[in-house]
Amino acid sequence: MAISVRGLVKRFGGATPVTALDGVDLTVRRGTVLGVLGPNGAGKTTLVRILSTLIRPDAGTAVVGGLDVLRDARDLRRLIGLTGQYAAVDAKLSGLENLYLIARLLDVPRRAARARAREMLERFSLTEAGNRPAGTYSGGMRRRLDLAASIVGEPAVLFLDEPTTGLDPRTRNEVWDEVRRMTGNGTTVLLTTQYMEEAERLADALAVVDRGKVIADGPVEELRARVGGSVLRVQPADPADLPAMRAVLSGAVRVAPDEAGDEGMLRIPVQGDDDLTAVVRLLGTHGFALARVDTREPTLDEVFLTLTAGAPAPEREKAMS
């Protein structure tokens, strides 16, 4: 295994500590992508910071690339790449200088370091801006430079903490292509994301984290099967009835109904025909006229919402932000 975590615990605070990780177990096979999903404050970033040796756990073990994150931290840093939630490049250096510096710090020979720096600029569409100070870059350009910096050393294990937040669709696709290229060459990736499409496109397996625990893990189809059932979609004849319909159903179904974007519909997870019939009968009892009713298999968004029903405690979000 490229990553093996057992019983990982991390607490923040003094007299009344907040538990960010509460006995996390997970594994990642070499050359694969593990997508880590979870609400804000679930512990995803804390997990990444421990695995990349930035903070120490309070209990448990973590081994990355065969090296212990505590005993072998110095050696481990040479094997990994990290892109955090915010760009960490030097604003005074040019894009080329940032990449060259990091490559040299990783003991890449000078000539090879320059070649890799230029290659990264080209891959992330930054060649024209390569000689400008990074401080003059737009937010998206700095994000791309930060991603390039995390892989300029060809890491064996790459940690990506919400790497495409704020990127336009075209740039996001470029990042996805680069992740696939790296895994094709044997790099292992741990990816935290809020984009379900990103998780579905890139991840070989998923781990869902909530309140500091891994509450579900496995391939996407396995998680869909674990949630079970289908998703019932109902559309009122009068769009103004939507809030009232949601209020009626919220107290009567296992998972609170979710509005389906701009479609003017409610999505309700159901377990078989009995649940479906009960929902439709309840809406009829309350006098709602329906324009449309259909069912389908749950999307990854709906799987996520079902598994993480209930929001994280506000104090946990504050402590981990």
**198 and 287 fall within a common domain:** no
Confidence band of 251 (pLDDT split at 50, 70, 90): confident
Same domain as 112, residue 28 = yes
Confirm whether 314 is domain-assigned.
Answer: no
Total count of domains within the chain? 2
Looking at residue 229, its pLDDT comes to: 67
- 163 with 303, same domain: the answer is no
The token duo for 302 is 């709906």
- Those residues with Cβ within 8 angstroms of residue 118's Cβ, 6 or more apart along the chain or in another chain: 96, 127, 130
The DSSP result for 228-277, as a single string, is: -SEEEEEEESSGGGHHHHHHHHHTTSSS--EE-TTS--EEEEE-SHHHHH
Where residue 313 falls among pLDDT bands split at 50, 70, 90? very low
Residue 320 counted as domain residue = no
What burial letters (b/e) apply to 226-245, b meaning 16+ CB within 10 Å?
ebebbbbbbbbeeeebbeeb
220 within some domain: yes
Is the domain of 83 the same as that of 138?
A: yes
> In this structure, are 250 and 264 located in the same domain?
yes
**Is the pLDDT reported for residue 209 higher than 80?**
yes
Question: Do 101 and 209 lie in a common domain?
Answer: yes
Residues 61 and 173 in one domain: yes
- Decide if 319 contacts 19 (C-beta within 8 A): no
Identify whether 293 is part of a domain.
yes
Residue 214 lies in a domain: yes
* Same-domain status, 241 and 210: no
Average pLDDT value over all residues in the chain: 87
Using the structure block, give the residue that is written with the tokens 């990994």. 80
Query: Would you state the structure tokens that stand for residue 138, as one six-digit string?
Result: 């737009």
Compute the distance between CA of residue 280 and CA of residue 320 in angstroms, rounded to an integer.
42
Domain assignment of residue 109, yes or no: yes
Q: 76: domain CATH number?
A: 3.40.50.300
Range of the structural domain that residue 298 is part of: 228-309
Q: Of 224, 243, 276, which marks where a domain is finished?
A: 224
Q: What is the pLDDT of residue 59?
A: 97
> Do 208 and 302 reside in the same domain of the chain?
no
Rg from Cα positions in the chain: 23
| Residue 321 in tokens | 């932000």
Q: Does a structural domain hold residue 111?
A: yes
Lowest-pLDDT range of 39-53, 144-158, 218-232, 277-291:
218-232
Q: Which of 187, 205, 224 is the last residue of a domain?
A: 224
CATH code, domain carrying 266 = 3.30.70
pLDDT of 262 strictly over 60: no
The residue among 161, 190, 224 that closes a domain is 224
Sheet holding 290-296, edge to edge: 258-259, 266-270, 230-236, 290-296
Sign (positive or negative) of CA dihedral 61, 164, 88, 11: negative
